[in-house]
Amino acid sequence: MSINLFDLTGKTALITGGVHGLGMAMAKGLGQAGAKIVVNDLSQAALDNALAEYKSVGLEAYGYVFNVCDEQAVIANIAKIEAEVGPIDILVNNAGIIKRTPIVDMTVEDFTAVITVDLISPFIVSKNVAKGMIQRGGGKIINICSMMSELGRDSVSAYAAAKGGLKMLTKNMATEWAKFNIQTNGIGPGYFATSQTAPIRVDGHPFNEFIISRTPAARWGDPEDLQGAAIFLSSKASDFVNGHILYVDGGILATIGKPSNE
């Protein structure tokens, strides 16, 4: 009984931007729990590489090229996915960008670009996927938030503004759609060992030392550490969980940090 609560067999999951990194790790977890995987990207080459990776580990996966910020493209591709693969039971709004620029130096255009991808696109994709979920009587939506949904940090003002907004959008989606048996929640990753962080995850690098000392678990997260959270929030096990942000951060947000003399 308890194992069946996490079984995603027969479900179709759309993971936006799920072609590498944390998005791919979460998609693999959902696939291993039984779901059919659908990912999107702006690049056909990136999709082809991702689909080859999913196939190599025995997962059923499909790829579509479209821009999550273009509502007409989103609507058209949702229709294609549901006609060709199946109704979207699980949506993971994972696509995102970051621009590291001090506020006084950041252009309005760059700030707007981050807000558009990281906050407006989850609104666009969710509202259009949710219409089908409402008609079918349920679904799961997971917004990929961040520790920057709770904390500020130098040079990431647009990202923090977007992720803080996404936290509240998640809560409002839950408020509006829970009555339709749609559970809307978020995952807030901490600092993870990915190809992007490899250059700074070396002994002696100041940021590496900072993350290890700042994290109660005393390590970087492994991308697979996100899979349990993604499966839980996609499965029957979370049918009465709504509007929650699950931080997978090794305990960073739980503590003020170690004193300097420790």
Helix axis angle for 21-32 and 44-56, nearest 10°, is: 40
Judge whether 191 counts as a catalytic residue. no
Quick one: residue 20, left, alpha or beta (phi over 0 = left, psi -120 to 50 = alpha)? beta
Segment holding 15, helix H or strand E: strand 12-16
Strand partners of residue 64:
40
- Annotated active-site residue in 54, 64, 159, 247: 159
Strands of 182-189's sheet, edge to edge?
A: 61-65, 36-41, 12-16, 90-93, 139-144, 182-189, 245-248
Whether the CA torsion 75, 126, 164, 18 is positive or negative: it is negative
Decide if 228 contacts 221 (C-beta within 8 A): no
C-alpha 212/C-alpha 190 separation (Å) is 12
Whether the CA torsion 236, 242, 247, 253 is positive or negative: it is negative
161: helix, strand or coil: helix
DSSP string, 142-153: EEE--GGGT---
The residues annotated as belonging to the active site are 159
